Amino acid sequence: MKLPGELDVEPSSFKVWKNVGSCMEKWFGDKRLWLFGNNLPLLPRRSRASSRAMERYEKLAKLGEGSYGLVYKCRNRDTGEIVAVKKFVENEDDPLIRKIALREIRMLKNLKHPNLVNLIEVFRRKRKLHLVFEYCDHTVLHELEQHPAGCPELLSKQIIWQTLQGVAYCHRHNCIHRDVKPENILLTADGVVKLCDFGFARMINGQEIGYVDEYIYLGQIASFENRQDKEVERRITNAWKSFWSMKDLMKGTLPLTLKRQLIDMCILPVLTYGSQTWSLTEHQKSKLKVCQRAMERTILGVRRIDRIRNTTLRSSTRITADVGAQTAKLKWAWAGHVCRMHPDRWARIVTEWVPSDGRRRRGRPRRRWRDDLDRFLPQWPKEARDRERWSFYKEAFAQQWDTIQAT
């Protein structure tokens, strides 16, 4: 008996789907997948045995947490072996998680070296991927935290040498790790280095790698040279892109109160992104202020040749969030946060560090990050420990930008 709304399906359709299913079964019958041109074993099919794999491991402690997963210290109930189990937070239906997991599995199955972490097995539980690795006692980051003044010379040499051995092995096999940092350099109880976390690694496959002297990282230019001018230009360009994406609103009949809110919420954050780390010259400050004034003229429909003073523009738009003051406040807040850190934190150590001879190496920027702070309040590292007093100085520090009259 056919239910109401049920579709009529011809028997031949069932035959077609049955044939398609049998073809797919033959295709994946050997559980292998062509990925990046290599024959890679697929993850085990979902089964009760796979879901019960975690039952073999007893959780002992939580080792760490990353952007995509958690790492636990576990004991194999059958063998007593201590392992590290990496559990991805999102389920495998997430394409990004699946891509990162498959890449890491593929890399570690193909790369075997004493200084690379060993992948023992992979299984699913509750639709989440679990990777079982050999257990390592701690990381290089822990060593750095235990030795604020620097690791002992012998230990440093051992870590560097073994890390280079692992990286060199990866390079000989056309693999670029791309995420070598203290957290990803593990150390066993015997002092053996194990390079881990291949989620961002790439296979080169004969491609020529070009020289790069700068790179966009976390939205900012990372370079060994001074790229402050170029970063300011990027901020201004991105701010204008954000502005023109709302052209109909900014140049339309929208009330000025709403336009001011758009400036505060959508434009200024783009223009001042990363300004906590800036050490700006007077010319760079002026360029940022000129950008904001130009946007205000555009909102009012005023041209530059009209020669209207900035004070008149500001009284018309009534914009209170100035780019100069906002940049200064962000830097001031970050400086206070750094000074209130524990003395062993690297951010604080680097901030307070000066060369032994008191002079900067040739080729470094003339201005240091802390120069304007030193000029405004010579004892600022000490004053920053008092939050209330530090907040009192913030407005005064921001007002120094008003000495620049941008046109």
List binding-site positions for ATP.
87
Query: What is the layout of strands, in order, in the sheet containing 138-139?
Result: 138-139, 185-187, 193-195
Specify the 3-state DSSP secondary structure of 34.
strand
Give the DSSP H or E segment for 74. strand 69-76
List of residues 6+ apart from 361 with CB closer than 8 A: 355
List of residues 6+ apart from 344 with CB closer than 8 A: 145, 148
Cα–Cα distance for residue pair 241/295, rounded to 1 Å = 12
Residue-wise over 132-168: b if at least 16 C-beta within 10 A, else e? Answer: bbbbbeebbeebeeeeeeebeeeeeebbeebbeebbe
Q: Could you list the beta-strand ranges (E) of 206-331.
A: 214-217, 220-223
The identity of residue 335, as a single letter, is A
Whether 374 and 382 have beta carbons less than 8 Å apart is answered as no
Torsion angle, alpha carbons of 380, 381, 384, 390, to 10: 10
Cα–Cα distance for residue pair 81/275, rounded to 1 Å = 49
Tell me the binding residues: 87
Tokens linked to 57: 């491991």
